[in-house]
Amino acid sequence: MKNNKPSIKQTFDISAGNFSVAGSASSRIKNMLKRIGIDDKIIRRVAVATYEAEMNIAIHSHGGTLCIEIFPDVIIIVAKDKGPGIKNVALAMEEGYSTATDEIRAMGFGAGMGLPNMKKCSDEFDIQSTLGVGTRVEMKMYNKE
Ligand SMILES: Nc1ncnc2c1ncn2[C@@H]1O[C@H](COP(=O)(O)OP(=O)(O)OP(=O)(O)O)[C@@H](O)[C@H]1O
Ligand SMILES: [Mg+2]
């Protein structure tokens, strides 16, 4: 579709449960977008969406990757992990739904707002999840001039 246009692409490995570095991929993405002069409003949306995606991989999954590709007219973010997958995606998308443990909640996560906020920050949002296989979230933010 947009594959014939020049783009900048970066992929970050996100390990499971590594809270000391969790958030670093999204902050590096934010700095990169600032450096190349992307609109502040879009940067804020991408920063929230990538942070929530990164934390979900770190907290809820066995690890995965966060990939961002910047085209002149759209920013595409793909968060992919190696399982365990989500049993009920519709439920997971509801505000306030969380399976986070007390330990995770004590660290300030588990409000059940990550996925709904990722959707709100996106112009296009798609989530696919298969139990035992993994979860893939794709978000597009239109890079309006
Ligand atoms: N990558 C994932 N792998 C497995 N389960 C996930 C994944 N992402 C989300 N979930 C499930 O969906 C639920 C809702 O996710 P969401 O990000 O909205 O809330 P949360 O992570 O629990 O809390 P918050 O994001 O507000 O800190 C999670 O509690 C978890 O059960
Ligand atoms: Mg979350």
Q: Is 1 within a domain? A: no
Give the position, in ligand 1's atom list, of the atom nearest the Cα of 110: 23
CATH number for the domain spanning 97: value is 3.30.565.10
Q: What is the number of H-type helices and E-type strands within the chain? A: 5, 5
Q: Is 129 within a domain? A: yes
State mean pLDDT over 53-81. Answer: 97
pLDDT in tens, 116-143: 999 999 999 999 999 999 999 999 999 8
Ligand at shortest distance from the CA of 60: 1
**Residue 42 to residues 37, 51, 74, 76, 137, Cα–Cα distance (Å):** 11, 14, 10, 12, 18
DSSP string of 125-140, one letter each residue: EEEEEETTTEEEEEEE
Cβ–ligand 1 distance for 92 under 6 Å, the answer: yes
What's the Rg (C-alpha) of the chain? 15
* Domains: count for the chain: 1
Q: Is 2 within a domain? A: no
pTM of the full structure? 0.95
At 14, is the pLDDT very low, low, confident or very high (cuts 50, 70, 90)?
A: very high
**Residue 95, domain extent:** 8-142
Helical pair 40-60 and 24-35, crossing angle rounded to 10 deg: 160
Strand stretches in the chain, DSSP E? 8-14, 64-70, 74-81, 124-130, 134-142
Cβ–ligand 1 distance for 89 under 6 Å, the answer: no
Please tell me the distance between residue 109's alpha carbon and the centre of ligand 2 in angstroms: 7
